[in-house]
Amino acid sequence: MKDKSALYFLYNAVDESGFEKIANVASSKEAWDILEVAYRGNDRVRQVRLQALRGEFEGLKMEDKEQVTEYITRVEKVANQLGKNGEPMPASRVVEKILRSLTDDFESIVCAIEESKDLSVLSVEELVGSLEAHEQRKRKKHEPHDQALKAQLDLDETWNTQSRGPGGRGRGGRGRGGQGRGRQGRGGCDRDDVEESTDPTRQ
């Protein structure tokens, strides 16, 4: 999927003659090899590469099951490639890119960081610390609920097994009252997240 995205950006970065050369390739590496031969000694290759990398950088988004450190590594990799091709990426731009492309689970900590930090001087390393602390805290909050859910499923399975026991004795239906789970409204900063983003001892 990622290689197909790279090919897509390449197709949009080259002119018609360049597109004809790489229209039938199977991978982005094969496309680059062809373009480098075709435009050897020409700045056109570098310009095409930069344009493709810009598109890839802007299109990056964190995936639902992806850990925050894995996503940040992907962002930094593309940023480094831009720098190697003559377009250095300021840390502030990398930080802003990360903050605006995280999943909704990070909405409260992003709000807290934007309110409590100067993004123009915030380092990627400091940002990683705040985001990792938030991710770990969220994971710990979910663990008790996951364990309770598993216990309930095990109990239900036990009752079902007993009701199908010898003699065909069935058990009456058991009603279970629904339990509402509150969720913090969108748009506000979580107090813990604000403290987390400003207190280095909590990271």
185 vs 12: which has the higher pLDDT: 12
Quote the pLDDT of residue 156.
Answer: 66
Predicted confidence band of residue 67 (pLDDT cuts 50, 70, 90)? very high
Buried b (16+ CB within 10 A) or exposed e, 13-49: bbeeebeeebeebeebeebbeebeeebeeeeebeebb
Torsion angle in degrees (nearest 10) through CA of 121, 122, 124, 130: 170
Give the largest CA-CA distance in the chain: 86
- pTM for the model stands at 0.59
Question: Which residue did the predictor score with more confidence, 11 or 92?
Answer: 92
Asked which of 25-34, 117-126, 133-142, 165-174 is least confident by mean pLDDT, the reply is 165-174
- Owner of token pair 């990627």: 124
Look over the chain and give the mean of its residue pLDDT values, rounded to a whole number: 79
pLDDT tens digits, residue range 68-77?
A: 999 999 999 9
Lowest mean pLDDT among 29-33, 60-64, 80-84: 29-33
**What is the predicted pLDDT for the residue at 106?**
95
Can you tell me the distance from the alpha carbon of 53 to that of 57, in angstroms, rounded to the nearest whole number?
A: 6
CA angle 21, 26, 28 (to 5 degrees): 75
The pLDDT of 40-63, averaged and rounded, is 86
Question: Where do the domains of the chain lie?
Answer: 1-59, 64-155+188-203
Residue 58 has a pLDDT of 94
Tens-place pLDDT, residues 191-203: 566 555 656 555 5
Does the structure show a pLDDT above 60 at 60? yes
Rounded Cα distance between 84 and 91, Å, is 15
If you average pLDDT over each of 12-21, 142-151, 175-184, which comes out highest? 12-21
Q: What percent of the chain has pLDDT over 70?
A: 67
